[in-house]
Structure 1
Amino acid sequence: MKKLITILSIFLLISFTINTVTAVAQPKIYSQGFYTMKDLNLSENTSYTVQNNEPYVEGLLIILDSDRKIQQLIRIPPSSTKNPIIPLKSDYKFIIYGNVKLIFS
């Protein structure tokens, strides 16, 4: 009986450790254009960063509120590090300018 319990315990331990899956969020990549929060699949009141992975092209990100006032303007150099953006509200709109691919994470 002790052997059976020991074997079952080892089997259960092994089966629980094998099935672990790590979940990593996919970065969101967008090019030049006009976007809303829904278009970018961004959540309200969440901290995001934006990064330009293009090696030779500079980009520009403009964040506007519902009154069309600029809330944040970021000039993103080529191959930049992650730049933090302000906490977002649901009515914000985004303008991405330049032949870039910006990554939101």
Structure 2
Amino acid sequence: MKKFIYILSIPLISLFIFNTAATAAPQEMHSQGFYNMKDLNLSENISYKVQNHEAYVEGLLIILDSDRKIQQLVRIPANSNNIYISPLKYGYKFIIYNDILLTFS
């Protein structure tokens, strides 16, 4: 009976020791297209950082207000980190241009 308990306890203990699941939610990557703030899970009056995860492709991020006027036009270099955009307002729309993968944080 002791052997059975030892054999059963080894996989259970290793399961707890080697459980390395990430506790933070994974960031969503967004490709070329048209988005609004709800699609990107962005909040109002917060300054965000944009990152491009493509190694060799540059892109553009165009931010439009509710009157379809350009508020920001950001050139995003390949494999870039921490490009800051100004605080956003409700109703802004986003155009991601070129084959890039962006995350907002």
What TM-score do the two structures reach when normalised by structure 2?
0.74
Counterpart in the other structure of 2:93: 93
Structure 1 moving runs of 4+ over 3 Å: 22-26
Counterpart in the other structure of 2:71: 71
Q: Aligned AA for 2:28?
A: K
The superposition leaves residues 23-75 of structure 1 with CA deviations (integer Å, 9 ceiling, x where unpaired) of 53532310000000011111111121101010010010000001111100000
Q: Secondary structure at the match of 2:99?
A: coil
Corresponding position: 1:55 with 2:82? no
Counterpart in the other structure of 2:15: none
Q: Secondary structure at the match of 2:60?
A: strand
Q: Aligned AA for 2:52?
A: N
Distance 1:80 1:57 in 2: 10
Instruction: Report the Cα offset of residue 81 of structure 1.
Output: 1.8
Q: Aligned AA for 1:53?
A: H
Counterpart in the other structure of 2:30: 30
Distance 2:82 2:25 in 1: 16
| Gap runs ≥5 in structure 1 | 1-21
Deviates more, 1:40-49 or 1:92-101: 40-49
Distance 1:36 1:27 in 2: 17
Deviates more, 1:57-66 or 1:26-35: 26-35
Distance 1:103 1:63 in 2: 15
Paired residues in the alignment total 84
Q: Secondary structure at the match of 2:38?
A: helix
What TM-score do the two structures reach when normalised by structure 1?
0.74
Which is helix-richer, 1 or 2? 1
% identical aligned pairs: 67
